[in-house]
Amino acid sequence: MLKRARGTRIQWTTLILAVVAALMATIATPTSAQGSKSPGGTVTGELSRPAYSYADAIRESVWVDTGLDLDRNGRTDRVAADIVRPSEAARAGRKVPVIMDASPYYSCCGRGNESQKKTYDASGKPVQFPMHYDNYFVPRGYAAVLVDLAGTNRSDGCVDVGGRSDIISAKAVVQWLNGDATAYTSRTGGTKATADWTTGATGMIGKSYDGTVANGVAATGVKGLKTIVPIGAISSWYDYYFAKGAPYHSGGPDGLARAVESQEAAARCRVVKDELVKGAPRTGDWTKLWTERDYVPDAKNVKASVLAVHGGQDLNVRMKHLGQWWDALATAGVERKIWLSQAGHVDPFDLRREQWVDTAHRWFDHYLLGVDNGIEREPMATIEREPDRWTTDAVWPAAGTEATTLRPRSGATPGVGILGTEPATAGSTETFTDDPRLSEADWAAQVDVRTAAKAGFTTRPLAKDLRLSGSAKVTVTATPSTRTAHLSAVLVDVGPDTIRNYTGAGEGISTLSTRSCWGESRPGDSACFLDTGADTRRVNYTIFSRGWADLGNYADDHIGRPLTPGKPHTITLDLAASDHVVKAGHRLALIVAGTDRGLISAPNSQPKLTLDLARTSAELPLVGGAPALVQRSGGQAHSGPSAPLTSVPAPGLIDRLPTGSDHRTSGRRA
């Protein structure tokens, strides 16, 4: 009995001490936070938790001096940065890190699937911050900073479409947050604003133009930028408008500037737009303008980690941008991770919402709050294999990937050839005539039929799955009948499948009527967004990689010249990066043709082109290399056509805005 009573007293003493310790911890830690405090957030179980009031958050605007005077008004340009940050942290003197999205779209076009724009109250104080970054992360101990690029919304200056002004607009804000630049409390006043409330650690995120700016700022090596999350982002603006001299239908950068600039900038920035026109001739020749807007060579300067996201079927910002940026980052030794979907130009928030928010949350926690949650040690690649079915890989491109040369050769029927590892017989040829009325979908639908506008080559049905992972190249030797010619090369998975409907209005998603909430709401800024679902399509072939070129760039990737009719010319087409599995029973096809309707513009003639098959080849990133192809195809070539193929609609014009913007006119997203 005595022993039992003593044990009871010990248990009560332990319990009382535990309660006192808990109360002391609560007194020592302001707000309703639980767990240990880290700079800027409340972390419990290796995750920042909502501890601050979003409704009571501080909302303010500053104007950061860029040091430029692009609008030539005699005063340096200031860019507007709208800020929302936890008031409790400010009162406690606790500094917070920053999640930043720098965009030209906050007033012209909107952000996200619902095209949200910034809104302000009568005194000019920001009310709505588009997207969920503020709603979700501010309660967890972050500040959200949304920057109007120069020449847009409430910023001074001019839009220069990826040039110095765009990049310095955002870089200057990162520098101000880190104590290395000057900001003011108004657009024209002299009262300075300080960023003494932040740790100076900044992460940039954004889709399309916004993600492009994140790439460009990271390439400057600016201090304080700890990570970037570029989504469907451009890495070289030349490659947005041209493919080795072949023009896309996106117009020129001056058109994009007109689409996004403010009314004030439209009046004062005519000179800048004229410079964009002069610096970006529609000849497709490389100029100094493009050098300034090519971030790939400067990947060596990147100090920030990179979480890159792209749609494998993005026909707006094509996968080449991701492939060349990723490879350059790898060479520079940058810490990185990648998400690849089967959709088009779509934000992962609208593809796989719960998993994406969790990934971004843990990513920012690690790189901005310093939480050791292990995300950097997890698999590098998250890849969508089928609609809503995702897998992971330890590295990307996949381990065991080898650049493997496949060669086209003639088959039993002219125009319906064989693709394999054996070279073509010297002197063998295939001929086609450019028909700008046709698209890649038209070619693929008739890969087993002789047509005048393309040359197609296929393997035999595969015995096992064959995976391609990374970037491909196709080298073509062609003899034109005219002085100008454009070429297209596409890789096709020939066989039945269900894919995301990437040529549809939603580019692979459908917007539903229900909403889900991600973070906290307040009047004027809801955390609840329309849900989405996969928009799928049943097909008999899938085009999964593409490349284009002006044959006139045969001697120089950057400069075109007239062709000599009747003379062979050799050029290499860079195909978009991809990660695709050609399933057992399917065939892998290579199609070479002329103008790809809806994707590149036609030349000023309709040439007949004769391919020298012995001097034409494809270098493909096969997992397992050439042996994998031989094992999967049984070492034999395809010997005959399969059943007729159903057609996928041709993609529409890339420039949904008539002026060439990458924003959709439907206002859905950019």
Residue 492 CA to residue 419 CA, distance in Å, equals: 12
Task: Give residue 633's pLDDT band: very low, low, confident or very high (50, 70, 90).
Answer: low
Q: Which of 335, 337, 473 is nearest to 393 (CA)?
A: 337
Q: What are phi and psi of 538, to 5 degrees?
A: -90, 125
Amino acid at 48: S
Residue 178 belongs to a domain: no
Residue 585 belongs to a domain: yes
Task: Give residue 13's pLDDT band: very low, low, confident or very high (50, 70, 90).
Answer: very low
Strands (E), 259-380: 305-311, 336-341
Residue 530 CA to residue 512 CA, distance in Å, equals: 6
DSSP string, 82-142: EEEE-HHHHHTT--EEEEEEEES-TTTT-BTTTTB--EE-TTS-EEE-SSSHHHHHGGGT-
For range 255-276, the mean pLDDT: 96
Residue 429 CA to residue 18 CA, distance in Å, equals: 85
What does pTM read for this prediction? 0.90
pLDDT averaged over every residue in the chain: 90
Is the per-residue pLDDT at 116 higher than 70? yes
Residue 466 belongs to a domain: yes
Model pLDDT, residue 413: 87
Model pLDDT, residue 41: 55
**pLDDT tens digits along 520-571:** 999 999 999 999 999 999 999 999 999 999 999 999 999 999 999 999 999 9
Q: In whole angstroms, what separates CA 309 from the centre of its chain? A: 5
Q: What are phi and psi of 303, to 5 degrees?
A: -105, -20
Clarify whether 617 is annotated catalytic. no
Residue 547 CA to residue 235 CA, distance in Å, equals: 16
Lowest average pLDDT, out of 33-47, 244-258, 586-600, goes to 33-47
Clarify whether 345 is annotated catalytic. yes
Model pLDDT, residue 2: 32
CATH number at residue 445: 2.60.120.260
Is the per-residue pLDDT at 663 higher than 90? no
For range 199-206, the mean pLDDT: 98
Task: Give residue 629's pLDDT band: very low, low, confident or very high (50, 70, 90).
Answer: confident
Q: Which of the residues 254, 285, 314, 435 is marked catalytic?
A: 314
Is the per-residue pLDDT at 5 higher than 60? no
Residue 597 belongs to a domain: yes
Per-residue CA distances from 136 to 348, 519, 520 (Å) = 16, 4, 6
Model pLDDT, residue 129: 98
Residue 481 belongs to a domain: yes
Model pLDDT, residue 478: 98
Residue 521 CA to residue 438 CA, distance in Å, equals: 49
Residues 6+ apart with CB under 8 A from 549: 243, 244, 245, 246, 486, 487, 571, 572, 573
Model pLDDT, residue 632: 64
**pLDDT tens digits along 85-108:** 999 999 999 999 999 999 999 999
Q: Which of the residues 61, 103, 165, 208 is marked catalytic?
A: 208
Task: Give residue 631's pLDDT band: very low, low, confident or very high (50, 70, 90).
Answer: low
Residue 610 CA to residue 488 CA, distance in Å, equals: 14
Which structural domain range is residue 569 located in? 401-499+539-633
Residue 435 belongs to a domain: yes
- 585: tokens are 């029973």
Clarify whether 545 is annotated catalytic. no
Lowest average pLDDT, out of 38-42, 267-271, 556-560, goes to 38-42
**pLDDT tens digits along 280-307:** 999 999 999 999 999 999 999 999 999 9
- The count of structural domains within the chain is 1
pLDDT: which is higher, 642 or 228: 228
Residue 61 belongs to a domain: no
pLDDT: which is higher, 668 or 264: 264
**pLDDT tens digits along 343-402:** 999 999 999 999 999 999 999 999 999 999 999 999 999 999 999 999 999 999 999 999
Q: Which of 180, 204, 249, 474 is nearest to 363 (CA)?
A: 204
Residue 669 belongs to a domain: no
For range 198-225, the mean pLDDT: 98
Residue 153 CA to residue 173 CA, distance in Å, equals: 16
